[in-house]
Amino acid sequence: MNQQALTTVLFLSVVALTVGITFWASRQTKTAADFYSGGRSFSGFQNGLAIGGDYMSAASFLGISGAIAIYGYDGFLYSIGFLVAWLVALLLVAEMLRNAGRYTMADQLAFRMRQRPIRTAASVSTVVVSIFYLLAQMVGAGTLVALLLGVDPNNNFIKNIVIVGVGLLMIFYVVVGGMKGTTYVQITKAVLLMLGSALIVVLVMAKFDFNISKLLGEAADNSGKGEAFLQPGLQYGATLTSQIDFLSLGIALVLGTAGLPHILIRFYTVPTARDARKSVLWAIGLIGAFYLMTLVLGFGAAALLDTSEGSTVGGNSNLASPLLAEAVGGGDGSTGGAILLALISAVAFATILAVVAGLTLASSSSVAHDLYRGVIKKDKPVTEKDEVRVARISAFVIGGVAIVLAIPAQRLNIAFLVALAFAVAASANLPAILFNMFWKRFNTRGATWSIYGGLITCVGLVLLSPVASGAPTSLFPDSDWAIFPLNNPGIVSIPAGFLLGIIGTLSKRETNSEKLYAELEVRALTGAGAEGASQH
Amino acid sequence: MADTPDGSYREASAPIYEDLQRTEEFQRLRSRYRGFVIPWTVAFLVWYLTYVALSNWAPGFMNTQVVGHINVALVFGLLQFVTTFGIAWLYAVYSQRNFDPLASELNDRFDRAAASAAGPDALRKEDDR
């Protein structure tokens, strides 16, 4: 069997496995709590794995190792931001959110704010963040699958078919399996990803006698850049603007995680706040171990593969990990190489599927629970069945929108789309979440100003930056209206989100918000009255 | 949770929450919680931003070789991993010892009050299960 046939078989096995899991999970999904939060019955360890599965996207697995393979040390800087960010989630967000909310990010704010404006705002930002992130994953899936199956990378027809296929699968996971199905898909993926990466890491390290310094030395030599390859600055060090851009990216990465809606709703899937804490602790262990492995994968690829301009990896750095697997398995044409390449490609595919399912679930839950139940049907009672039906319809609509947008978005850089999702999450969501928990005076006006303000500042600055126009790599390279010099807006938009929250709050007094803070605070810190696990 | 899906606020909360908030145990829980998380958050953010800033603006220091091809930048990066694991572990131990007993004591008090109080409002928690 040739390598492409083997890859195809393994891809189909991943699809069959996840589809089977979803059907199995669907038989246990009856109530709204089952659909949105898996009945809140997962253990801390299970949820820790699922968080890892939700978080370690193809952008990390393929993107970071690829960035290290090309830019050396600067690629490593990403993973540090992505990891340290989990301390914000652990210390400030996970447990209190678990106690105060129910199904969506908005619940925790709606606890003491005026329902309609706050649910609308939170839902808008949930959908925007999730769509940016979804686009990144789907564009990545198209490129990756086309290349791994040996299709011409410029053949857009095949890529579009892959995007549609991935889109239909993610709709299926969410509509049929709900949170239970999605969680098990994420757990499966996390296990596959950790085992697959560990296997390649051991094989790489064996080639260098398990000596890190030797690996680094050969990576530096083979890269053709010498010791500079092991030092910061290759990607970002050129000018003061690019250095500030890097600082801006670093801030968005570290503050974005705790504002990502698909991560936040994972805290609702466990029975108590203590389990939420345990799941974050497991997630930190897993994610940390994973990023340490990407370090070896990236430098391993730099040491063992041709990464010069014009080479396969030089042209598409996302292929560094899969081609590294082929190299340590015996190289191009060997059976071992073919098996490992197919295996790692299938793992990467599973990675994409698990992340897009989580994103689709987060946004369709918010549309059904916040917009439909909270805003549209404001005066009429909504049955659970009705609400879940709307959530399933929303999954179709959001999945469809993502497919339609992903096809023209193929020109956009994947790492940039991910960084933008983090920047929006940090600017629009995090300020409102933190103020709501820690500041009694905080109110509806402050929350909506900070959400809309953070969102508009962030997206607006990107539109005025070289990402949109004025540079050869821009979306519109032939025009130039760029007046904001940075590609990463976080350094301005995150403070703007916090500041607008403060100004909005201080400009209006809402005594009801302040009165309800007693209940929010007691509940968040003690769990008194919090939602329990559903019993079947 | 009976979140009222209308244009205004949720219905007013049960008075039990305000009583609990005034207890000495809750005040202690809150000050212990904030006393831990706020300084540690400031600490790890400053530590992380120091690392980012040094990567940008202190190449001489970061490029110093420590052993073989391992330089200060790599050691500093790996130290970020160590401190992240360390602070997470510290929080796990500290919260279990200092927050959890107070939280469950207050939670029990809430359950007893809810069970003895008349009226559906106080029993909301039970209804939802």
Tell me the one-letter amino acid at B125.
K
Q: What is the pLDDT of residue B120?
A: 46
Q: What mean pLDDT is predicted for residues A406-428? A: 86
Is the CB of A113 inside 8 Å of chain B's CB atoms? Answer: yes
CA dihedral sign of residues A378, A379, A385, A386: negative
Does B45 sit within 8 Å of A232, measured CB to CB?
Answer: no
Is any Cβ of chain A less than 8 angstroms from the Cβ of B106?
yes
CATH architecture designation of domain A3-26+34-526: Up-down Bundle (1.20)
Q: What is the mean pLDDT of residues B45-53?
A: 95
Could B110 and A526 be called an inter-chain contact, meaning their C-beta atoms sit closer than 8 Å?
A: yes
Express as a percent the part of chain A with pLDDT over 70.
Answer: 99
**Residue type for position A150:** G
Nearest to A78 by CA among A16, A38, A29, A69: A69
Cα separations in angstroms, A428 against A420, A490, B98: 12, 11, 33
Of the listed ranges A11-20, A148-157, A389-398, the one predicted with least confidence: A148-157
Mean local confidence (pLDDT), A67-96:
93
Q: What is the pLDDT of residues A362-387, one digit of tens each?
A: 999 999 888 888 888 876 778 888 88
Q: Where are the alpha helices (DSSP H) in chain B?
A: 15-22, 24-57, 59-62, 72-98, 100-116, 124-128
B70: β partners: B67
* C-alpha–C-alpha distance, residues A396 and B108, integer Å: 43
Residue A271 DSSP SS3: coil
Residue A55 backbone zone (phi > 0: left; psi -120 to 50: alpha; other: beta): alpha
Average pLDDT, rounded, for chain B: 84
DSSP-derived secondary structure letter, B10: P
Please state, as a whole number, how many other Cβ atoms lie within 10 Å of the Cβ of residue A499.
16
Chain B within 8 Å of A316 (Cβ-Cβ)? no
pLDDT at B7 over 80: no
Q: Report CB contact under 8 Å: A254, B48.
A: yes
- Residue keyed to tokens 């009255």: A529
Write down the mean pLDDT value for chain A.
Answer: 90
pTM: 0.92
Measured between CB atoms, which of A81, A516, A523 is closest to B9? A516
Indicate the range of A77-81, A101-105, A310-314 predicted with least confidence.
Answer: A310-314
- Helix segments in A261-409, DSSP class H: 261-264, 273-304, 312-315, 320-328, 335-366, 384-406
With 0-12 / 13-18 / 19 or more C-beta atoms within 10 angstroms meaning exposed / middle / buried, residue B31 is: exposed
**Residue A421's pLDDT is what?**
92
Cross-chain CB nearest to A83 (options B63, B81, B102): B81
- Per-domain residue ranges for chain A? 3-26+34-526
CB-closest option in A80, A216, A247 to B80 = A80
Residue ranges per domain, chain B?
15-128
Instruction: Categorise residue A490: left if φ over 0, alpha if ψ from -120 to 50, beta otherwise.
Output: alpha
- Residue A28: pLDDT over 70: yes
Radius of gyration for the alpha carbons in chain A, expressed in angstroms and rounded: 23
Contacts of A70 (CB under 8 A, 6+ apart): A302, A307, A313, A314, A317, A320
A247:B56 CB<8 A: yes
Q: Dump pLDDT digits (tens) for B71-104.
A: 999 999 999 999 999 999 999 999 999 999 999 9
pLDDT band at B13 (very low <50, low <70, confident <90, very high): low
- Is B10 in CB contact (< 8 Å) with chain A? yes
Q: Which two tokens stand for residue A429?
A: 């969501």
Establish if B67 touches chain A: CB-CB under 8 angstroms. Answer: yes
Those residues with Cβ within 8 angstroms of residue A274's Cβ, 6 or more apart along the chain or in another chain: A44, A95, B100
Point out which residues pair with B67 in neighbouring strands: B70
Residues whose CB falls within 8 Å of the CB of residue A27, separated by 6 or more in sequence, listed in order: none
Across the range A95-99, mean pLDDT stands at 94
As given in the structure block, the two tokens for residue A20 are: 């089977």
Kindly report, residue by residue over A430-442, the tens digit of the pLDDT.
999 999 999 999 9
Contact by Cβ (8 Å): A310, A222: no
A5 pLDDT more than 80: yes
Residues in B closer than 8 angstroms to A515, CB to CB, are 12-13
Q: Please judge whether B10 and A527 are an interchain contact, meaning their C-beta atoms are less than 8 angstroms apart.
A: no
Mean pLDDT (whole number) for A502-515: 92
For Cα atoms A384, B110, A45, give the angle at the middle one, nearest 5 degrees.
60
Instruction: Give first-to-last CA distance, chain B, whole Å.
Output: 10
Of the candidates A122, A141, A130, the one whose C-alpha atom is nearest the C-alpha of residue A398 is A130
pLDDT of residue A448: 96
SS3 A412: coil
- Distances from the Cα of A398 to the Cαs of A87, A136, A505, in angstroms? 31, 15, 33
Using the beta-carbon criterion (under 8 Å), do B41 and A87 form an inter-chain contact?
yes
CB contact under 8 Å between B73 and A232, yes or no, is yes
